[in-house]
Amino acid sequence: MFYGADYYPEHWPEERWETDAHLMKEAGINVVRLAEFAWAKLEPDEGLYDFSWLDKAISILARHGIKVILGTPTAAPPKWLIDKHPEILPVDNDGYVKGFGSRRHYCYNNPVYRQYTKKIVTAMAEHYKSNSNVICWHIDNEFGCHDTTVCYCDNCLEEFRKWLKERYGNINKLNQSWGTVFWSQIYKDWDSVIVPRKAVTSHNPSLLLDYKRFSSDSVVKYQKLQIDILREVTPDKKITHNFMGLFNQIDYYQLAKDLDFISWDNYPINHFSDKSDQIAANIALSHDVMRGVKKKNFWVMEQQSGPTGWEEMGRQLKPGEMRLWVYQSIAHGADAIVYFRWRACTFGTEEYWHGILDHDGVPRRRYHEVKQIGQELQKIGPLIEGSEIKAEVAIIRSFDNEWAFEIQPHKRGFKYMEQIKKYYKYFYSRNIPVDIISPEDDLSGYKLVLAPGLIMVNEKITDNIKNYVRGGGTFLTTWRAGAKRWDNRMNDQSLLGPLKDLLGIDIEEYSIIPDDENINIIFGDNEGTANVWFDVISPVTAEVLGEYKSDYLAGKAVITVNKYGMGNAYYVGTIPSDGIIKELLDKVTEKCNVSVTEIKGDEGIEIFRRIKGADEFYFVLNFNRKPSTIIIDKPMMDILTGKYINGEITLEPFGIKVLSNK
């Protein structure tokens, strides 16, 4: 198993490199990522390449048995390049040029930048093609980070017009599709089409969605430019890119296609989200999202190893916390763990972003924890190699649908992903594995498929879902399903559009639910609330499972199920409170026979399983800050102690166990 760190030798004197390599080896580290921001050091002036320092670092690492993932440095174009070609800089939607001085300061569609990208990537590829210690390429860094997916420069304008022409063929089709007759927006020809720079008020929602799609495609295309070179010059080396979990500006299914495997950056305890401690379920979801983009295991390329921080800082990691999050990554499909970063830098924007070592480079508690994990992984790694996660439940996450809701949230503040989180949380709390998949993926292997927020469908998606249910699958979708066409305009059919017969209901009327209004619903013996939205449903062929209790809605259906072919399609016309979601999904999972793990744990204990043939590996993770227990009803091998355990077992705070059924 690969175990590593993100290492920046260029930030330290050469005399230190030997010590670093030695300390890494002692900690079990066998891979590092290098150079992804080092363009100015690799090409100090145009055409003047200097790989000598990197060669030296790589050879020191090689002597210690440490392999290298090499970053292409395009996330940080050097000053000389920007001085020569300031037109590379991206433009925001006010028309303001984002200047040099941080990173990611380039436009994906800039032809000059594409040329320079080719040159540096080719030079690196040629230089390292026969270096067997370099095992993998890492393209750029976190595409889209710092809100850099979308640019509004003139190159983008030109490329957008070409992109639209390819998609729509003729301008009238575009006008029809976008409904440009509204507010006199009709375009006479391709040259008159705009990009959605700041206007007096909101742009056309179809234009906005296409601009998101175009921007995402631009990143995919830019990545492909690099991949094509690398595949040609260094066909034996793998290629990856570091993704960002729930980040939504790029269609990750598309970005993943051209890569050998994907990796992602995991910072569970940070200073940039609402709470310093991320909810374990949300990080679990991020892992599952990441596993889903390529339907296979992944790497963590930046696993948190210290307090985060730029201008402000996140909190210190408590003993055992780093280890816990590492095991969660592995449980959900990480085949390698690479920590960010080896050592905290003494300068630059990320001065306070801590690594395994502090600024002084002295090994302390976090280093010792990394070393302990390294030793443990030497036992666990070989056993779990080739193992996978097998899920009977899938949740569809569609970028197009997420974008449609981002453009028009319906109710202020509503977020597509928040609804998915609610459904995911149910499965997480019952330790039921879930795959997060695209609406076009093969659904046939799943017992249950959920698609919260599927406001837009196209023919392919509709057929995919209907065939699945016809064949005996169980499907659940929610309010607004099928309301819009794939071009983000309303369907002129009745609500639910092409999904109507599948769901067997009519939507009589609907509304957002203002915050100061309370609507109660009942499902079985349970009472709860409707949130964000209500649909008033009248069943056609469907059976009513839940009803409203309040106001003029009382007695009207809110949750239904319809038999369709050999399967069942559920519809939820609101966002029910958690208790109702639980009752509903208890019933649904029981009805479609979803398996549950035999190990029972206290609340706050996560149990996730990897499988290889008949071998099962259970990762038991105590996210509680107090001792917590699990109950195992047959003897299982505790891989770290080599002993069989059975019955009631206590895990210390942040404690973990890796159990095997053999």
Residues that bind ligand GAL (CB under 6 A): 141-142, 145, 242, 265, 302, 340, 350, 353
Smaller CB separation from ligand GAL, 136 or 584: 136
**Taking the CA of residue 593 as centre, how many other CA atoms within 13 Å lie in the half-sphere pointing to its CB?**
5
Q: Of the candidates 328, 153, 121, which has an alpha carbon nearest to the alpha carbon of residue 227?
A: 121
Which residue in this structure is represented by tokens 């996140």?
A: 314
Q: Which is nearer to ligand GAL, 265 or 487 (CB)?
A: 265
Alpha-carbon distance 5 to 305, whole Å? Answer: 9
Spell out the residues 6+ positions from residue 48 whose beta carbon is closer than 8 angstroms to its own: none
The continuous run of DSSP H or E covering 101 comes out as none
Q: Which two tokens stand for residue 440?
A: 């076009």
Q: Residue 265 or residue 535: which is nearer to ligand GAL going by CB?
A: 265
Provide, rounded to whole angstroms, the least separation between the CB of residue 428 and ligand GAL: 25
Q: At what angle do helices 154-168 and 205-233 cross, to 10 degrees?
A: 100
> Shortest Cβ distance from residue 596 to ligand GAL (Å)?
36
Which one of the listed residues 43, 159, 302, 606 is annotated catalytic? 302
Minimum CB distance to ligand GAL, residue 36 (Å): 7
Q: Least distance (Å) from ligand GAL to the CB of residue 75?
A: 8
Angle between helices 416-429 and 280-294 (to 10 degrees): 100
Count the neighbouring beta carbons within 10 Å of the beta carbon of residue 601: 21
Check: CB of residue 238 under 8 Å from CB of residue 261: yes
Of 436, 388, 338, which is closest to residue 138 (Cα–Cα)? 338
Least distance (Å) between residue 279 CB and ligand GAL: 20
Minimum distance of ligand GAL from residue 129's CB (angstroms): 26
* Contact (CB, 8 A) for 265 and 242: yes
Query: Does the annotation mark 232 as catalytic?
Result: no
Q: Which residues pair with 421 in a beta bridge?
A: none
Nearer to ligand GAL, 165 or 271 (CB): 271
User: Residue 145 or residue 544: which is nearer to ligand GAL going by CB?
Assistant: 145
Q: What's the rounded Cα separation, in Å, for the pair 599 and 618?
A: 9
Considering the complex, state which of residue 54 and residue 76 has its C-beta at the smaller distance from ligand GAL. Answer: 76
Identify which of residues 326 and 542 has a Cβ nearer to ligand GAL in the complex: 326
Contact 237, 230 (CB under 8 A): yes
> If we measure between CA atoms, which residue out of 300, 304, 252 comes closest to residue 278?
304
How far is it, in rounded angstroms, from Cα 411 to Cα 399? Answer: 19
**DSSP string of 123-172, one letter each residue:** HHHHHHTT-TTEEEEE-SSSTTTTTTS---SHHHHHHHHHHHHHHHSSHH
Q: Which CB sits closer to ligand GAL, 140 or 210? A: 140
Q: How far is the CB of 143 from ligand GAL (least distance, A)?
A: 10
Which residue is at the shortest CB distance from ligand GAL? 142
Q: Nearest distance from residue 322's CB to ligand GAL, in Å? A: 16
Instruction: Give the H or E element holding residue 509.
Output: strand 505-512
Which amino acid does the sequence have at 143?
Answer: F
Burial 309-346 (b: 16+ CB within 10 A, else e): beeeebeebeebbbbbbbbbbbbbbbbbbbbbbbbbbe
Shortest distance, position 350 Cβ to ligand GAL, whole Å: 5
Q: Name the catalytic one among 43, 142, 369, 606.
A: 142
Assigned token pair, 62: 């090689």
Report in angstroms how near the CB of residue 536 gets to ligand GAL at its nearest.
45
Q: Which of 58, 66, 57 is nearest to 2 (CA)?
A: 66
The yes-or-no answer on residue 406 being catalytic is no
Ranges of beta strands (E only) in 454-581 are 474-478, 505-512, 519-523, 526-531, 533-539, 543-548, 557-564, 567-572, 575-576
Token representation of residue 173? 């089709």
User: Which lies closer to ligand GAL via its Cβ, residue 71 or residue 576?
Assistant: 71
Q: Based on CB atoms, which residue is closest to ligand GAL, 161 or 341?
A: 341
Whichever of 159 and 302 has its CB closer to ligand GAL, that residue is: 302
d(CA 247, CA 15): 39
How many residues are given for the chain? 662
Distance CA 603, CA 614 (A): 28
Q: Provide CB contacts within 8 A for 261, sequence distance 6+.
A: 238, 240, 294, 296, 297, 298, 299, 335
Cβ 273 to ligand GAL shortest distance, Å: 13
* Paired residues of 145 in beta bridges: none
Active site residues: 142, 302
